[in-house]
Amino acid sequence: MSMLVQSLSRPGAAGEAGGAVQTLGERVTAELRGQLISGRLAPGEKLSLRTAAEALGTSMMPVREAVSRLAADGALEVLPGRAVRVPILTLAQFAELTRIRLVVEGFAAEEAARHADAAALEEIAACEAAFHAAAEGEPADPAGAVAANHRFHFALYRASRMPRLVEMIERLWLIAGPVLNLDMRSASARLKGGSAVRCHAAIVAALRAGDAAAARAGLVEDISAAARHIESTGRLRADG
């Protein structure tokens, strides 16, 4: 059973958004978005629309609706024969995405340092502690680190108090999430004492000090170090 089907099969996996009952198409879209952003779907992984529909107990139409929405965002691609898979980025595409993330997510980190209240700081610190425990455990817990990394980043971005900015970042993570988190899952030896542990701790310290420049610097180094490693692994497609 695929990660997608496991998620869709859980009772109330999508539930309701903001108190409004979701249509089946919206539910499937929300599930797929969450899987992509959190890195539970890997680059190149194919999705069975029929299996997803069966897991939901629905027709193919809501599943096709969800795929169409996500393909329009570049988060999924439809291959000849109507096969659907998570895109495999080229080096140039990944490099461009990284440059955009540095600007947008760096700005969000600055704004978080300016606007985070006590509750937001507590949530971010708790996520940082969970990531540290997963990364530094004996043995390291890659799946736990992936989940905690996702929670840390988006708790940070929400602390900017700019919902539209967070939506922009979610769209970036729709495309970046699969490759970023595949790297974290498959390179568990890199977690212990790695740059992400140090950068996350530096970001929390900067937030507590209200230092916007230091928060951006920590976030930029976090993204840059991961990108450098991913580019060196040969997982990305050659350009051309």
Residues near 143 by Cβ (< 8 Å), separated by ≥ 6? 185
Q: Find the domain containing 42 and state its range.
A: 3-85
pLDDT in tens, 197-233: 999 999 999 999 999 999 999 999 999 999 998 898 8
Q: Do residue 35 and residue 118 come from a single domain?
A: no
Q: Is residue 239 part of a domain?
A: no
Q: Do residue 16 and residue 72 come from a single domain?
A: yes
Euclidean distance between CA atoms 79 and 121, whole angstroms? 44
pLDDT in tens, 3-59: 555 545 443 444 433 445 567 778 888 888 888 888 778 888 888 888 877 876 778
The predicted model scores a pTM of 0.84
Q: Do residue 65 and residue 138 come from a single domain?
A: no
Euclidean distance between CA atoms 118 and 85, whole angstroms? 41
pLDDT in tens, 89-139: 999 999 999 999 999 999 999 999 999 999 999 999 999 999 999 999 888
Three-state secondary structure call for residue 73: coil
Q: Which residues pair with 237 in a beta bridge?
A: 90
Q: In what order do the strands lie in the sheet with 84-85?
A: 46-47, 84-85, 77-78
Instruction: Count how many domains the chain has.
Output: 2
The domain that holds 135 is classified in CATH as: 1.20.120.530
Q: CB neighbours (10 Å) of residue 202?
A: 18
Boundary residue ending a domain (85, 100, 133): 85
